[in-house]
Chains A and B, each alone.
Chain A
Amino acid sequence: MIKLDNVTKVYSTEVVAVRDASFDIPKSEFVFLVGPSGSGKSTLLRLLNKQEQPERGTIWVAGRSINDLAASKVPYLRRNIGNIFQDYKLLPNKTAFENVAFALEVIGRPKHVIRQQVPAVLELVGLAGKQDRFPHQLSGGEQQRVSIARAFVNRPLILLADEPTGNLDPQTSEGIMRLLDRINKTGTTVVMATHDQRIVNMMRRRVIQLDRGTIVRDQARGVYE
């Protein structure tokens, strides 16, 4: 599903964000990217949905190299990739329903599809009955659930999560991880950047560890270290 071959990303002549990264993530795998802040986890995620361009190396997503993907094709790549973030990136003036619907609306999905799919995905993430609340009326965990619903409503092949539990207490984080686990079980490949030691040790999934841009460990059923 995702394959990197000697990928290097340089931000400036001194700062190498990712150095010679190679790995292969098969379909429906769950992978943690771990490492301290600034080790290149977020850059790796941004390379996968083409928010960044690698200086060297090749990136394949869903069997196709995205290195030379035309700018006009990038939106279609991103429709296959859901994104969730530490700060949720919800639109404050839209309700939970509208935030999720927005993701479908702007890729031109018809109204009847939106009316049907948005309540279904909100129920899946455990927010049935809260769809008319605005983000400020929801707890952090609930806001992250809205953001997961938005990322998943289009049934993407891949879900990229950048520190999704970074702002949440341990109990709420566990709930979010159970949700991501369920989404993973539907066949969606999940790549999650985190330095939440507890979560990684609890889940026992594949761990790719980065240190100053270099992959120093790639372990199946790993722990944080």
Chain B
Amino acid sequence: MLNRLGYWLRETFASLRRNLTLTVAAVLTAAVSLLLLGVALLARQGVGNQLVQWKGGVQFIVFMKADASEDQIQSVRTALAESPQVDDGKTVYLDKPAAYQEFQRIFRDQKTIAESLTVNDIPPNFKVVPMTDDSDIIQAVGNQLLTKPGVIEVRFARDYVDRLQALSRMVGVVSIAMFVVLLFTAVVLIWNTIRTAMFARRREIEVMKLVGATNWFIRIPFMLEGLLHGLAGGLLAVAGLYGVNFLWKERVIPKIPDLAALQVSSSQFNLVVVLVLVVGMLVGAVGSAVAASRFLDV
């Protein structure tokens, strides 16, 4: 078994060296394709994180002053409860500890922000689910509450969630479409590399078949070659993702505080990394296995 493994690895790397230009082309195409997949996935995660506050049909959030009195909070609560436009059952009040928890969740990756505020600095808030979709009515209800004492801000979903979701959808659709096209190109290139590799070794393959090597034995070095193409492409894509993520977190976000939560946690990032690598290896191995089977038996 060790003997065979040695044979397969030797043959795989010899073949990679022989086909350097095609190999580079296949790997780079796979890398760009997988990078796009990764960016699309990260963008989706990031937007999801940014929108944590807005889950469950919340259309606007009424932020109280951090030092608002119980009476002021009670008065807003009563106003919401009495308003026929507000779905009282779904509207949620986050008191200071609850709001602080949410704040910690949103900024769990930015310790400086997360630790800069204490429970007492956090504004308690009402997440309001209206009865209607009519944005004019929602706007009117929200603005009415803005006049109440103790209310510091009313933030509407319409301005924010809609735009962000539209942007995220666009980024997603465009990058997934490009991912698919480039992935196809990568598969074609891997396919071609394997065909060239098999053609270069047609004499060896003929001899192997005549002396009774099994098809799997003949095929494995080529499959390993394709798998390595995919893996190399995946690793380059991961390096690119680290770069993109770093630039976004360190260069872009500090300039646009409103997007502070539009980023991914390290566990989400790692998940995307694993996914990109797995997709890369799978595409490489399956593509080359199909090519190897085809050109072996014809």
Contact = CB atoms under 8 A, between A and B. Distances in A.
Interface of A: 49, 71-72, 75-79, 83, 89, 91, 102-103, 105-111, 150, 154
A5 B217 CA distance: 33
B203 interface: yes
A89 B217 contact: no
Contact of B7 (A76, A78, A103, A106): A106
Contact of A108 (B3, B209, B215): B3
A51 to B, nearest CB: 8
Interface in B194-243: 203-204, 206-215, 217-218
3 A-B pairs closest in CB distance:
A79-B212, A78-B212, A106-B213
Contact of B212 (A71, A77, A110, A111): A77
Given A108-B3, A108-B4, A110-B3, A78 B217 contact: no
Given A105-B3, A110-B3, A91 B207 contact: yes
Contacts of A77: 212
Contacts of B4: 108
A91 B11 CA distance: 15
Contact of B217 (A71, A91, A106, A110): A106
Interface of B: 3-4, 7, 203-204, 206-215, 217-218
Contact of A78 (B3, B211, B218): B211
A106 B218 CA distance: 8
Contacts of B206: 89
16 contacts: A75-B212, A75-B214, A75-B215, A78-B209, A78-B212, A79-B211, A79-B212, A89-B206, A102-B208, A102-B211, A106-B7, A107-B211, A107-B213, A108-B3, A154-B211, A154-B212
Nearest to B217: A106
Contacts of A72: 214-215
A72 B214 CA distance: 7
A89 B7 CA distance: 21
Most buried by A among B3, B210, B214: B210
B3 A103 contact: no
B204 A78 contact: no
Contacts of B209: 75, 78
Contacts of A110: 3
Most buried by A among B4, B206, B212, B218: B212
Contacts of A71: 215
B203 A103 contact: no
Contacts of A103: 207, 211
B204 to A, nearest CB: 6
